[in-house]
């Protein structure tokens, strides 16, 4: 079995006219990251591998989870190819995951996150909100063969505040 955990980055700031990939989290992004990671801490199983987009807002969100889940540095990866808004590109990266890894948590961007969650899982969402987390389980031993997943958990900040 494979478990895919998809997390959209936290709420980011549009101030200071920064390039898109350099936009930091707003205070709400940090608060929501703490809220979702604390709630998810009850459900998470180890070992877990985290992949993050290098965009500041995604990486800052991923680091909140890394700290809260006490994840080791050797299980935390920044992948430049995850700075994408294409679900096809995102899925292609996930399919390249080492088959020895059974649980993968990916921090990225919309619309790729929403489209992938809806394509792979058995529940549909109009839009995955910022810091929205979705867990999808697959009855397969290969990341290349992900299909017909079962959405077992979704945590959205507005439902927990």
pLDDT in tens, 19-63: 999 999 999 999 999 999 999 999 998 899 999 999 999 999 999
Q: Residue 23 maps to which CATH number?
A: 3.40.50.1240
Whose CA is closest to 146, among 108, 126, 117? 117
What lies within 8 Å, CB to CB, of 110 at 6+ separation is 8, 85, 127, 128
pTM equals 0.97
3-state SS, residue 104: strand
Residue 18 in this model has a pLDDT that exceeds 90: no
DSSP one-letter code for 34: H
Q: Range of 28's domain?
A: 2-160
**Token pair of 113, please?**
């996150």
Question: Which of 44, 101, 97, 93 is CA-nearest to residue 69?
Answer: 44
- pLDDT score at 13: 87
Q: Residue 15: pLDDT above 90?
A: no
Number of domains present in the structure of the chain: 1
């Amino acid at each position: 079995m494979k478990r895919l955990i998809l997390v959209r980055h936290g709420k980011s700031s549009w101030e200071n006219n920064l390039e898109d990939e350099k936009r930091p989290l707003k205070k709400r992004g940090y608060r929501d990251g703490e809220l979702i990671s604390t709630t998810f801490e009850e459900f998470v199983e180890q070992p877990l591998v985290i992949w993050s987009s290098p965009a500041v807002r995604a990486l800052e969100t991923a680091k909140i989870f890394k700290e809260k889940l006490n994840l080791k540095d050797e299980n935390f990866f920044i992948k430049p190819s995850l700075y994408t808004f294409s679900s096809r590109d995102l899925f292609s990266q996930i399919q390249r995951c080492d088959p020895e890894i059974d649980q993968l948590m990916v921090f990225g961007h919309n619309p790729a996150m929403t489209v992938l969650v809806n394509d792979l899982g058995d529940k549909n969402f109009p839009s995955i909100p910022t810091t929205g987390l979705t867990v999808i389980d697959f009855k397969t031993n290969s990341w290349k063969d992900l299909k017909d997943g079962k959405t077992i958990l979704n945590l959205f900040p507005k439902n927990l505040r």
